[in-house]
Every structure is written in C-alpha cells, then in structure tokens.
Structure 1
Amino acid sequence: MSSAEVLSSFFTRIARDPRISLNHIGMYAALVQFRLEHGFDNPICAFRYELMQLAKISGKSTYHKLIKDLSDFGYIRYAPSRRRNQGSTIYFPVDLALESIK
C-alpha cells in the first residue's frame, strides 16, 4: 500500500468521524510522511520531537493529546517508550484500507 492509498483510506474514514479535527489530520499526515521517509516500515519508531517538528506542533501536551486520540480512535496503535534514548513505536493498522472500501 502506498502513502497515497494510506492517506486516501484515512480521509475516507474520517469523513464519517466528527471527532477528528484539523490538528489530527496534520498529525496523521506527519506520521505518514515520517513513515515514507523511513522506508514505509510498519511499525515506525519515532521520537516525539521528530513528529512534533514535522506536524508543526510546539506543545508537548498537544502532541500527546493528538497521538493518544488517533490511537484511541483506531487510526494508529501507539506504544510509548519510557526510555529517553528509544523512540515510541507507532503501528498503522492494515485493516484501515479495507474498512474504507466497505
């Protein structure tokens, strides 16, 4: 699945989800861009500061709210790292593309 297909299925799914804001969309786009820059791996391992820079987010609390929301809503699965020298793991569910087709 390409990055265009990932974004397309995301936009199809959020069309029916009133909980998603422009900030969530920006964070998800940053996640997809980060994934693309790192060989389109699933999962990705990233540090907060890397994703905040890509998403143009300056507040830690905003970052944590957005990433937690996306995880709670089922768009990603977020496994935070408790170590300073290890990035958090973010999984992109494979079934998102299938749900958008239904």
Structure 2
Amino acid sequence: MKQNNRLKERKIMAYISLYIEDPRLNVWHLSILIAILGLGYRQGQRRRIKVSRSKIMELSHVSTLPTYHKYFKQLQDLGYIKYTPSYHPGYKSEVKLYKKRLS
C-alpha cells in the first residue's frame, strides 16, 4: 500500500513540476490545479476527476465566482484541463488533466 501511495505521489509531483515551469500560470491557476489534483488523489484517480465547483473553490481558497470562472477557463484554454460539465443533479462534472499541454 505504501509503495502504491508513493507511485501516486510521484505522478502528482510530475504534474506539479509541469505547472510550476510554466510562467503563464499564476497563483490562482496553481491553486485550482492543486485542488483538482487533491480531489483526484482522494478519489484514486489520476486523469479523470469528478469535481464540483463548490469543492474546487473551497479547496483552492478562491472565494468569488468571477475569479474562479476566469482562471478555470484559462486553464482550459492553455490545454491543462478539459472540463465536461454534468447537468444532472445526481452526477458530478468531470475534469480531465493533461500532463502535456494541448496548446
């Protein structure tokens, strides 16, 4: 079990290393990405992570919707994430993380 956790942690660190090397990303981008990674770790997922806006905002300490939407959209535009919304109240939306930027 410990070895499995170490492997997960190494993969998380690979994502973080990619993020911190990009000068276009600021503290808000990084905070949202770390929140998504944290949710993925808790869910045992690496790339396809079930999310809710409220949970990401809580974990990233982003307190206003305009700030959240602005930086979340920029992460999509930069190719770090793909967001698939769920309009069903019983299902969460999904974020797919990309290790290499799409753009």
Do they superpose with TM above 0.5? yes
Q: What TM-score results when the alignment is normalised by the length of structure 2?
A: 0.74
Structure 1: gaps spanning 5 or more residues: none
Determine the structure 1 residue equivalent to 2:4. none
TM-score (norm 1): 0.75
2:81 and 2:96 in contact (8 A); partners too: yes
2:45 match: 40
C-alpha separation in 2, matches of 1:7 and 1:57: 22
* 1:7-44 residue CA offsets vs partner (Å, 9 max, x unmatched): 334433542x3321111111111110010011125311
Task: List 4+ stretches of structure 1 deviating above 6 A.
Answer: none
Instruction: Report the Cα distance in structure 2 between the residues aligned to 1:50 and 1:38, rounded to whole angstroms.
Output: 13
Identical-residue share of aligned pairs (%): 27
Aligned residue for 2:25, secondary structure, equals coil
SS of equivalent residue, structure 1 residue 74: coil
Worse-matched range after superposition: 75-84 or 41-50: 75-84
Higher relative contact order (CA 8 A, sep 6+): 1
| Larger CA deviation: 5-14 vs 57-66 | 5-14
Contact 2:19–2:25, Cα closer than 8 Å, also in 1: no
| Aligned residue-pair number | 95
Residues in 2 aligned to 1:57 and 1:13: alpha-carbon distance in whole angstroms: 18
